Chains A and B, each alone.
Chain A
Amino acid sequence: MAVLEVRNLSVDYVADDGTPLHAVADVGFSVEQGRSLGIVGESGCGKTTVMMALLRLLPEEGRIVSGQVLFDGQDVLQYSESQMRQVRWRGISMVFQGAMNALNPVRTVESQIVEALQIHDVVEQRRAARERAGELLQLVGIPPQRGRQYPHQYSGGMRQRAVIAMALACNPRVLIADEPTTALDVMIQAQILELLERLQAELELSLIMVTHDLGMVAETCDDVLVMYGGMVAEKASSDVIFNTPQHPYTRRLLEAFPDVEEPDSDLASIPGNPPRLDDLPAGCRFEPRCECPERGAICAQTAPPLVELEPGHWAACHSVRRVG
C-alpha cells in the first residue's frame, strides 16, 4: 500500500479582490514505502504548492478546494490541527527550499536540532535530546562535536546536511526535499544526493524530490511526475519518462536539458512563458507553447484528460493514444 497518496488535489489562491486563482488542479500521485518520486516542472508550475497543501502549510490566501491526502490510508485533510501536528515531522517531513539559509545564526546547530526534538515531544529530557542530536548529525555525515558550532562556521553543504538532520529528527516515513541542491556546487550536490540515497535505503524512507533539475531526478528517482501550469502533464517510471516520453511538454523539457555526455547536441528552449494564474488557457494549459505537429483545434478548447497509456504511464494530451 502506498504510504502517501494524493488524490485529485486542487488548490486556489485568493487574490486581493477575492477572485480565486487556480494554482493547482486535480493533481494526484502516490509514493510507496522506500520508493522515490521526482516532481519536476518550471518555476510557478505548482510543485511547491502541492507539497505545502499536503502538509497543510499553505499561506493564508491559499485554500484547498478539493481532493484527498491519504497518509497510511487516512485523509489528513480531515484531521484537526492537533492531529495534523502529529503527522507533520513525525509522518511526513520536509526540507524546505532555502532552509539552509534560514538556520538561526545566533544559536548552535545542536540547540536548533534539540529544539525540534523537544517541540515534537520526541524526547523530554535535554540530555537525551542532545544525544539524539549528535546521532542525527552523525547520520548525515557531520562529526557530532561540530554540533556546538554556529551555522556561519558551516559550509553550504554542511548547513544543508544539518537541515536534513533536523527533518529526520522524528523518524519520518516520508521525506520531501524541495530543491535540495539548488545553489550548491556540483561536487557538493553529488554529496547531498548520495546522502539522500543512503538515508532512503537505510531508513526505508519514501522520498519526494521537488526540483527543476531533470538530471537529478534521473539519477535518484524511481518515478517521475511532470507538472505544467498546476496540472499533471505526465507521470511514469523514470525509465519511461526519460526514454519514451509522450507528452510534448516532457519532450521539450528533455530537449532543453544539456547532457554532458553529448556536448555537441543542440539545445532547444521552450519559447514563451508558463501560463499566468489569472489568465489560464481554456483548453490544454500547454497549448499556447505547444509545437507538436499533431495538435488540433480541440487543444485550445478542452483540457485533455489524464489517461493511462500503458500500466503506470499517464499523460494528459489530446494527441497521445492508449497503447493497444
Chain B
Amino acid sequence: MEMRSTPILQVDNLHKYFPIPRHVGDVLARRPRRSVRAVDGVSFTVQRGEILALVGESGSGKTTVGMNVLGLQQPTEGHILFDGYDVTEWSRGHGASLEAADRFLVPLSRRRRVMTLRERAQMIFQDPYESLNPRQTIFDIVAEPLDIHRLTPSRTERRERVRTALETCGLAPADHFWDRFPAELSGGQRQRVVIAGALVLEPELLVADEPVSMLDVSIRAEILNLLRALRRERGITILYTTHDLATAGFFTDRMAVMYLGRIVELGPTVEVLSQPRHPYTRALISVVPVPNPRRRRQRVILEGEIPNPIDIPPGCRFHPRCPEAIPACREMDPRLHPVAPGHDVACLRV
C-alpha cells in the first residue's frame, strides 16, 4: 500500500443535523426547535489505498457521512479534510480558510473548487436499476462526467477514456457495449457501468454506498472483486458503506461500526469480526446468517429498532437496547477509546 504523510481523508468531529420544520402551533407554544441528529460527532481517518467499511443499520448515519465526505451536504459542525484541504469550508462558502487550500485554489470559484473535489472523489450508488438513465447509451452515461467537468479536449481522447473505464470494469471490448442501452444489460453489467462512470474521472477516492445489496449473490462476488482489483491496481481508496458485515469482512481493511450517528467500534476488519468488543458489534455479528447449518449460532437479537434520531437516549445511546447495560450507562456517554493498537471502542464496560 502506498503511504503518504497526508491521509487522503480525515473526518473530524462531523455533525450533521437536519432541522425539523416547525408548525405555527409549535412556534406559538414556544416549543424548542428540534432536529434529526443523523451524524453526531464522527471522526476517522482513511489512508491512501485503504478500504474502510462503514457498517450500520438504516438510520445509523453511514450514508450521511458519505454524502458529507463528497460535499453533497454541508456539515452542521466539524471538518472534512480531503488530501489536507478542508472541503467543508468550500461547500459552506467561506472561501478557503486553510493554508493549503489558499495556496492552490484561490483563483478558482467556489463552484469550481467543489468540482475539483468531485473529480477526485466519486460515488457509486446502490441501485444499478435506478441510477442509469434508460434513454442514454452506455457510452453517453460513462462520458457524461467528462462533459460536466469539461475534461474532453478531443473526441478521440473522450472515446479512449470511456473505453479505458469500461474495460477496467470488465466490460470488454468496450465497442461491444457502448452503443447499448441499460435495459440490454444484466444487473451485474449495469453496476459495472455505474462504476465505470465513476472511474472515468480517475478519482482517488470512491464512496461505494451499498453497491451490491441489490444484486444476486452470484454477481456480488464479481463486483466486490472488481472493487478490490481497483485498489490493488490503481491504489484507489474506497469508503464502503453497508449493513452487510459478511461482504464488508470479505474485502475491507478496517471497519467502523456505526449506531445512531456515532462510531461505536473501529478497528482492523478481521480483528473486529473475530474479537468484537462492543455489545452492539457482537449482536450484529451474531445475527449474520452463516451458510452452514452445522454452525448455527446463538443469535443475540436486539429488541425493537434503532431509536428515532430526534430523541437520542441520554447516556450511552445504545443502553436501552444493550443486553449488558449497567446503571452507569444511563448517565455516561462513552467516548471512543483505544482498547488495542488501532482498535477503538465506545463502551463504558470495555
Contact = CB atoms under 8 A, between A and B. Distances in A.
Interface in B280-318: 283-285, 287-296, 299, 301-302, 305
B220 interface: yes
A258 B246 contact: yes
A292 interface: no
A253 interface: yes
B292 A185 contact: no
A215 B289 contact: yes
A150 interface: no
A206 B219 CA distance: 31
B57 interface: yes
B148 interface: no
A278 interface: no
Contact of A186 (B225, B284, B296): B284
A263 interface: yes
Q: How large is the interface on B (under 10, 10 to 19, 20 to 34, 35 or more residues)?
A: 35 or more
B278 to A, nearest CB: 14
B301 A260 contact: no
A242 B218 contact: no
A187 B290 contact: no
B305 A256 contact: no
Contact of A256 (B217, B243, B285, B287): B217
A270 B186 CA distance: 13
B129 to A, nearest CB: 11
Contacts of B247: 258
A186 B300 CA distance: 12
B216 A42 contact: yes
Interface string A255-290: 111111101110111110100000000000000000
A260 B292 contact: no
Contacts of A260: 245-246, 249, 273, 285, 288, 290
Nearest to B189: A273
A218 interface: yes
Given A186-B245, A263-B250, A270-B218, A218 B270 contact: no
- Most A-side CB within 10 Å, residue of B217, B249, B284: B217
B250 A258 contact: yes
A125 to B, nearest CB: 34
A256 B220 contact: yes
Contacts of B220: 256, 258, 267, 269
Contact of B249 (A42, A185, A252, A263): A263
Contact of A267 (B57, B186, B216, B221): B221
- Most B-side CB within 10 Å, residue of A186, A191, A194, A264: A186
A269 B269 contact: no
B269 A271 contact: no
A186 B217 contact: no
B221 A259 contact: no
B136 interface: no
A252 B245 CA distance: 21
Contacts of A186: 57, 243-245, 284, 287-288
A-B pairs with the 3 shortest C-beta distances? A215-B289, A263-B249, A269-B222
Given A189-B287, A257-B246, 5 more contacts: A187-B301, A219-B290, A252-B218, A259-B292, A267-B220
Interface of B: 57-58, 186-188, 216-222, 224-225, 243-247, 249-250, 269-270, 273, 283-285, 287-296, 299, 301-302, 305
